[in-house]
C-alpha cells in the first residue's frame, strides 16, 4: 500500500535518452575518496586532454573544501567540465549528468582532445557507460510530496519505508543518501514498482569503448591519506565554508549538502553539538566506510585496469597504447 494514494496512477515508462556516437577515445579514471585522482590529472597533457568531473558534490558552487574540489590552480592547469555548474540547493540527477557529460565530450572531441571522465561517484560511471534504466522519469508533484513527508516524519522513517517497498534498493543505498532514497520512493509512488526492478541496459551506449583505469592503494595507506586530507580541510577553512553556507541560507535538506564533509556539520547543528573534533572524527569514519562502498561498486567494472596512482609510468604507457588504437 503506497502512502500517497492520490498520486498512485501508473505512468508510462520513459525510453532511455538518445545517445551520441562514442567511437572516439574516452578515458575513465575512478577510485575511492582520497586515493589521489586529482594528482594524477596534473600529469596529463592539457593540450591533449580535458576533464569531465564525475563527483556528485563537486558539481555544486560554493562547496569547495569539503568536496575536495580541484582548486583554481588545478583547473587552470587542465580544463574541467561539470564543476560549479549547479547551485547547492538544486537537484542534479544522473540523467542530468549523462546529458551534460555527453555535451562536454562532443566539445572536447571538437577540439581534437580526449575527454577524461574522472571522479568517485560510481553510479555516474555506470549509467554513463550503459545508459539509464527504464524507470519512470522524475515527477515534480510526487517528488515534492515525498519531500514534505520526509520533513514531517524524518529521514529514518523514509529509510524504513524504503526497506518495506524496495528491500533491494534499501541494501544498495546508504541511510544518509536522502536523494537516492527519495528517488526510489518516487519511483514506487509513480508506478507501484520498486526502482530495483528496472534493469540497466547491458549494452554499452553507441559503441563506447573507454579505457577504464581504477585507482587503488593499500588499505593502511588510503586510511592515512584520508586522515591527512580531513585535517587539511579543517586547516584550509572548512568550518568557515560551512558558516558561509549557513549565512547564505543553506538548509540540511539541500542536495549539495548530503555529501560527506557537509552533512556532518548540519547534523551536529541540528543536535546542538557543534564540536570540531567530533565532527572531524565522524567525517573520517564516514569517509572510510564510503571508500569501501566505492571500491565494491567500482570492482563491478570487469574491464577496469587497476593501478596504484604512484605507478605513473605504467598508467601513461597504458593510456598511450589505448590511444594508438584510434590513430590508424
Task: Look at residue 23 in the predicted model and tell me its pLDDT.
Answer: 86
Bigger pLDDT: 155 or 105? 105
What pLDDT does residue 5 have?
A: 40
pLDDT at 20: 63
With a CB cutoff of 8 Å and minimum separation 6, the contacts of 284 are 226, 227, 230
pLDDT at 328: 59
C-alpha cell at 287: 569517509
Q: Report the pLDDT averaged over residues 291-316.
A: 94
Query: What does pTM read for this prediction?
Result: 0.84
Phi/psi zone of residue 34: left (φ > 0), alpha (ψ -120 to 50 degrees), beta? Answer: left
Q: Name the least confident of 14-23, 154-163, 168-177, 248-257.
A: 14-23
**What pLDDT is recorded for position 11?**
33
**Residues 118/282, Cβ–Cβ less than 8 Å:** no
Which of these ranges, 29-38, 195-204, 300-309, 313-322, has the smallest mean pLDDT?
195-204
Amino acid at each position: 500500500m503506497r502512502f500517497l494514494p492520490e498520486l498512485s496512477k501508473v505512468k508510462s515508462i520513459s525510453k532511455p535518452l538518445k545517445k551520441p556516437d562514442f567511437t572516439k577515445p574516452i578515458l575513465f579514471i575512478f577510485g575511492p575518496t582520497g586515493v589521489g585522482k586529482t594528482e594524477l590529472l596534473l600529469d596529463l597533457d592539457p593540450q591533449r586532454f580535458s576533464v569531465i568531473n564525475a563527483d556528485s558534490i563537486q558539481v555544486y558552487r560554493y562547496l569547495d573544501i569539503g568536496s575536495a574540489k580541484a582548486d583554481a590552480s588545478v583547473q587552470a592547469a587542465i580544463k574541467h567540465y561539470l564543476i560549479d555548474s549547479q547551485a547547492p540547493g538544486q537537484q542534479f540527477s544522473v540523467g542530468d549528468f549523462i546529458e551534460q557529460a555527453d555535451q562536454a565530450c562532443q566539445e572536447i572531441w571538437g577540439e581534437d582532445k580526449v575527454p577524461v571522465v574522472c571522479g568517485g561517484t560510481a553510479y555516474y560511471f555506470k549509467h554513463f557507460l550503459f545508459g539509464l534504466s527504464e524507470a519512470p522519469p522524475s515527477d515534480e508533484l510526487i517528488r515534492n510530496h515525498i519531500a514534505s513527508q520526509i520533513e514531517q516524519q524524518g529521514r529514518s522513517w523514509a529509510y524504513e519505508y524504503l526497506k518495506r517497498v524496495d528491500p533491494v534498493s534499501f541494501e544498495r543505498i546508504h541511510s544518509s543518501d536522502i536523494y537516492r532514497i527519495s528517488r526510489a520512493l518516487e519511483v514506487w509512488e509513480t508506478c507501484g514498482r520498486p526502482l530495483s526492478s528496472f534493469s540497466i541496459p547491458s549494452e554499452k551506449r553507441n559503441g563506447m569503448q573507454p579505457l577504464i583505469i581504477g585507482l587503488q592503494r593499500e588499505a593502511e595507506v588510503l586510511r592515512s591519506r584520508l586522515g591527512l586530507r580531513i585535517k587539511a580541510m579543517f586547516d584550509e577553512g572548512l568550518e568557515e565554508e560551512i558558516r558561509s553556507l549557513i549565512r547564505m541560507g543553506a538548509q540540511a535538506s539541500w542536495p549539495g549538502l548530503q555529501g560527506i564533509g557537509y552533512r556532518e556539520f548540519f547534523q551536529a547543528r541540528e543536535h546542538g553539538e557543534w564540536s570540531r573534533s567530533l565532527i572531524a572524527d565522524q567525517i573520517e569514519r564516514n569517509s572510510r566506510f564510503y571508500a569501501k562502498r566505492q571500491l565494491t561498486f567500482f570492482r563491478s567494472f570487469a574491464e577496469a585496469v587497476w593501478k596504484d596512482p604512484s605507478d605513473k609510468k605504467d598508467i601513461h604507457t597504458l593510456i598511450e597504447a589505448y590511444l594508438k588504437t584510434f590513430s590508424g
